[in-house]
């Protein structure tokens, strides 16, 4: 997949392009269904497939006080888009200038001049541009003049509530992750929720005092973390090797009460080595239990042993 930024714009794809636009946070199954439709339609017409996305979530600029936590960082998003078979991804810098840009100007610059769009495929409720005034109807109106077709597709759904089918959405997945329902989130993502960050020095209590050394991940604050608790997960090293891991997301209440820093700690099963400083990827596969304060260190260690045993049972193929 070709990755393009605004500072290094190549010529539009030869023969024109089929384009979709969006934040694509998480590149979940709903996104993948839309991308599959894009590829299918593009293949029929001999067009290159292009995703126009943003270097940050637009809400972080438009409404920073209530911007959602992210399901993935930019690097992971680009990896996921590449795995979905997209030919080119254009990463647009989203800043105050872009937030104030009209929908019409965005279409002219990105779709018409930048990509020679012949087909635009978006969700039927897609909105963009200053004040979210851009929508499928506006795209179709501009396309009739500029020479591109617009397809507003119904988003994929999974499960139902009292009002019928529930769409697969980043908002819904964030809610599941933030409540610790990582198994349900994985169904909608098409994979376990993953966080990334370097391994940093903790209080060194895990190995020396408890007998269970942990890798402490410095996860960026804008990334969505599962609810505090204990999880069975998989830790991936830079060389691709993966290890089953018992994972704690929490404040270590046995030692610090409710005042401890929120940490993400992973105990790698059957591993003995130095992980400090390396970039790690940690996937949450199963929730084991809530975080709790124990009356003694001995009681905590006994529970940690049970957590490790259950992790080993659940993750038979680390």
Q: What's the pLDDT at 206?
A: 54
Q: What's the pLDDT at 318?
A: 46
Class of domain 2-153 (CATH, top level): alpha beta
Q: What's the pLDDT at 2?
A: 94
User: Could you check whether 2-153 and 192-314 share the same CATH topology?
Assistant: no
Three-state SS at 287: strand
- What's the pLDDT tens digit per position in 146-188? 999 999 998 888 765 545 567 899 999 999 999 999 999 999 9
Q: What's the pLDDT at 257?
A: 75
Q: What's the pLDDT at 252?
A: 84
How many angstroms separate the CA atoms of 277 and 200, rounded?
6
**Pairing assessment for the beta strands 193-200 and 279-289 based on DSSP bridges:** antiparallel
What tokens appear for 292 in the block? 């709790």
- Phi and psi at residue 162, in whole multiples of 5°? -65, -20
Q: Which residue, chain included where needed, has tokens 């001049």?
A: 113
Q: Give the global pTM.
A: 0.92
Locate all alpha helices (DSSP H) within 46-73, ordered by sequence.
59-62
**What are the boundaries of each domain within the chain?**
2-153, 192-314
Q: What's the pLDDT at 260?
A: 78
182-189 — which CB contacts under 8 Å span 24+ positions?
182/226, 182/231, 182/284, 182/285, 182/286, 182/287, 183/285, 183/286, 183/287, 186/285, 187/158, 188/28, 188/29, 188/30, 188/158, 189/26, 189/28, 189/29, 189/71
**Quick one: fold of 192-314?**
Elongation Factor Tu (Ef-tu); domain 3 (2.40.30)
List, for the chain, all residue ranges whose pLDDT scores fall below the cut of 70: 159-165, 203-209, 317-318
């Amino acid at each position: 997949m070709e990755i393009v930024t605004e500072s290094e714009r190549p010529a539009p794809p030869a023969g024109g392009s089929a384009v979709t636009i969006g934040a694509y946070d998480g590149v979940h199954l709903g996104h993948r269904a839309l991308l599959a439709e894009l590829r299918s339609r593009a293949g029929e017409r001999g067009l290159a497939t292009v995703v126009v996305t943003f270097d940050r979530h637009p809400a972080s600029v438009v409404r920073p006080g209530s911007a959602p936590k992210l399901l993935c960082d930019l690097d992971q998003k680009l990896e996921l888009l590449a795995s979905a078979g997209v030919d080119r991804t254009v990463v647009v810098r989203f800043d105050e200038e872009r937030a104030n840009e009209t929908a019409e100007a965005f279409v002219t610059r990105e779709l018409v001049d930048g990509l020679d769009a012949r087909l635009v495929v978006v969700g039927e409720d897609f909105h963009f541009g200053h004040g979210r005034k851009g929508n499928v109807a506006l795209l179709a109106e501009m396309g009739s003049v500029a020479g591109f077709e617009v397809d507003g597709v119904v988003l994929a759904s999974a499960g139902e509530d009292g009002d019928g089918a529930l769409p697969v959405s980043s908002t819904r997945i964030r809610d599941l992750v933030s409540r610790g329902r990582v198994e349900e989130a994985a169904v909608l993502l098409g994979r376990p929720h993953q966080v990334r960050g370097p391994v940093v020095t903790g209080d060194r209590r895990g190995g020396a005092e408890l007998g269970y050394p942990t890798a402490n991940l410095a996860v960026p604050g804008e990334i969505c973390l599962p609810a505090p608790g204990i999880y069975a997960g998989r830790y991936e090293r830079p060389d691709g090797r993966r290890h089953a891991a018992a994972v704690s997301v929490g404040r270590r209440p046995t030692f610090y009460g409710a005042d401890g820093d929120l940490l993400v700690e992973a105990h790698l099963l059957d591993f003995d080595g130095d992980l400090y400083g390396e970039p790690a990827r940690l996937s949450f596969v199963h929730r084991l239990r809530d975080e709790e304060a124990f009356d003694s260190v001995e009681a905590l260690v006994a529970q940690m042993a049970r957590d490790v045993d259950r992790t080993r049972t659940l993750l038979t193929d680390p």
